[in-house]
Structure 1
Amino acid sequence: MTADSDRHAVKMAKKKVARDKIMATKTDQKGLIIVHTGKGKGKSSAAFGMIFRCIAHQMPCAVVQFIKGGMSTGERDLILANFTDLCEFHTMGEGFTWETQDRDRDIEMAQAAWEKAKDLIRDESRRMVLLDEINIALRYDYLDVNEVVQFLKDEKPPMTHVVLTGRNAKDELIEAADLVTEMELIKHPFRSGIKAQIGVEF
């Protein structure tokens, strides 16, 4: 081994000892409140990655889509075709707000989606429930953020993970969450005139 390799081995050995010491203190488990927000792409994609992990581990889970309409997406089609025994999938929205242009109807649909979400979360046999684009419904006050936060604090089973996606997450939700990731937009092809593409966006 070279001198550089020797120094690297010594450095990594010290790092492993320190890391093992830290990891030994991490013994608790709990159901997490997870928020994916920000202007960057990947919020729902990352959340669906966790749903597919649950499916791979044979862990019952569920998805409620608050805004997106009934259009075909890869995740939805794959789950409905192959994994309905493990993952309930409910598309409750009718499209983005600029498409529906009917606030009263949007509020009605968001409230119905929230009622469905509460039923799914209360069932402690489910290990994860994804509330896709709920942050949009909260941003436009279709739902009361304080009610959502209080429900998650009071009624979410101890080992159930709940994932909430969408840009502009409200401060109250961020404060209540255990894990918050903000997707930062650096570049996006849409700004260069490239439309949403199959396999990337849906």
Structure 2
Amino acid sequence: MSTVDTPALLAATTKDLADRFDGVHSADTVARYVADSYVALHRTAFGDSRLPELTKRFAADRLTALAPADDADRTPSVLFICIHNAGRSQTAAALMDHHADGAVRVHSAGSQPAATVSKSAAAVLAERGLTLDDAYSKPITAEILTSADVVVIAGGGEAVPRLPGPRYETWDLPHPPGDDLDGISAVRDEIDTRVQALLNQLTTH
């Protein structure tokens, strides 16, 4: 069985992102965020074969959020948070991404990220023709939190820091057990209604 050369993959990731963010962030900043993102995800996703790829995606999202705002880019940003970033926040992010079709930047995070995304959440989203195949659980980070226009707390609100900048909303959503697909479908439908209302607020001026 071949082993993954993690240091080499992280070095390649750092180089790729340093090239992508050239003129925006220093090479040292990129290296620091790649290392920090790897450590943050490794805490829960150490068994995920996609860990190097996920590290690159997570670091890129954080570096984008950290970059100075471009006055020409008025795309609103929403961060969905729940405890494990496995069910409710992933469902909300997937539905917002679907309905917004690029009109909103969508992020999700958890106060206590799980190792994997909920299979039940994936199953009820599949009924809508949506997938969580590329989704992964990740922690709350300051740069994505403060860059969001709206932070939606879909669960575990007491663990979410309130920082200046974003507008905070708390959605009082039930947390049915994983084998209650009818209950999870009902939560999905409620989330969908709330997501579409929020999207209308963000894109109607």
Normalising by structure 1, we get a TM-score of: 0.32
Higher alpha-carbon Rg = 1
TM-score normalised by L of structure 2? 0.31
Query: Greater relative contact order (Cα 8 A, min sep 6): structure 1 or 2?
Result: 1
